[in-house]
Amino acid sequence: MRYIKSKLIFTVFTVLVLFSTCIAQSQTKPLPVQVTCRKSLLGGSYVLQIRNTSPLPIEIWLEAREKYATFIIQAEKMKEIGWVQGFRFDANDVFFIGSNGYDIIRQTMPSNELSEVRVDFLNNGALTVNLSQTFLQKKIAKSLKLPINKKYQGIIEIEMSKVPEIILKDRSDRIHANVLLQTITFSGNVKIPIKASISFLPSYISSTGEILASQINVDDININGLQNKLSSEATNIINGLLPIWFSEIRIFQLDTTTLKYLKFLNVRQISVYNRRLAIELL
């Protein structure tokens, strides 16, 4: 009986060792490829370049921009993947490359935006005009009249004197913004910085060509240096104030010529898609 137990324990131990060894090996086997990128010929996107450095053909898979595809790369040859293959890479796009039995490669495209405005197609085939994060940042900086401030009961004043930082995130249908405010207390005229994060859905006014903020949420508020009572009061004020301020901000307005064409084409909807603001046309 003791012999059987000892043999069973030894068998289980051996299986565990072999299993852990297999896992360790599978997690430390580099994929034999060299990954680079270049600008597309039209300059509006990046093209991914994957070179097989092994003496044998290899089948790899690629996941990026909510798409998945497999490719066979011949021995010591390079495969280019771009908009022709259905992958239109933009600045800061994260992509994953893998193959059966090898480690997964995770890399990011360069941060330099190649095209602030471009024409593209959604997965459903709809024609879109895409606006980049940089483009929106420039436009809101021009349209926003600063400073914006409001006083409350002669005790505290909230002021926004810097342009909010616009952020378009992966897999998010909302526009995000980091807002730097300052609280001014009238006792001693002390200025306390406040960091707030908000998000909102873009809305399009077809008659004027304006893009405005709707369904505005205050996601986070960070206040340091205020007494508890004033901090609580400032938080409540900001929660009510930022949605009002941003509902009045014009994110962007189309010029007269573009507006004329869009009226002819008919704007179906406007949304955030792959970290760009997509104006979807019929």
CATH code for position 219:
3.15.10.40
For residue 172, the one-letter residue type is: S
Does residue 26 form part of some domain? no
Tens digit of pLDDT for each residue in 164-218? 999 998 778 899 999 999 888 766 567 888 899 999 999 988 888 888 999 999 9
Q: Are 73 and 62 in contact (CB under 8 A)?
A: no
Which residues span the domain enclosing 135? 118-281
User: Over 50: is that where the pLDDT of 144 sits?
Assistant: yes
In terms of domains, do 137 and 102 share one?
A: no
Res 225: pLDDT? 63
Examine the fold and report which residue of 114, 134, 160 is the final residue of a domain before the chain moves on. Answer: 114
Same domain, 57 and 180: no
- What is the band of 64 on the pLDDT scale with cuts at 50, 70, 90? very high
Q: Of 121, 116, 160, 111, give the one whose Cα is nearest residue 139.
A: 116
Q: Are residues 191 and 101 in the same domain?
A: no
Is residue 45 assigned to a domain? yes
Say yes or no: 146 and 277 in one domain.
yes
Whichever domain contains 39, its CATH number is: 2.60.40.10
State whether the Cα torsion 118-172-265-135 is positive or negative: negative
Are 39 and 123 in a shared domain?
Answer: no
User: What pLDDT does residue 106 have?
Assistant: 95
Check whether residue 91 and residue 139 sit in a common domain: no
The reported pLDDT for the residue numbered 77 is: 96
For 228-247, write each residue's pLDDT tens digit: 666 777 788 888 889 998 98
Type of residue at 98: G
In a domain, 270, yes or no: yes
Instruction: Give this prediction's pTM.
Output: 0.71
Q: What total number of domains does the chain contain?
A: 2
Dihedral sign, CA of 74, 75, 81, 86?
Answer: positive
Cα within 13 Å of Cα(269), Cβ side: 7
Is residue 62 included in any domain, yes or no?
A: yes
pLDDT score recorded for residue 200: 94
Structure tokens at 103: 């480690």
Backbone angles phi, psi at 240, to 5 degrees: -90, -25
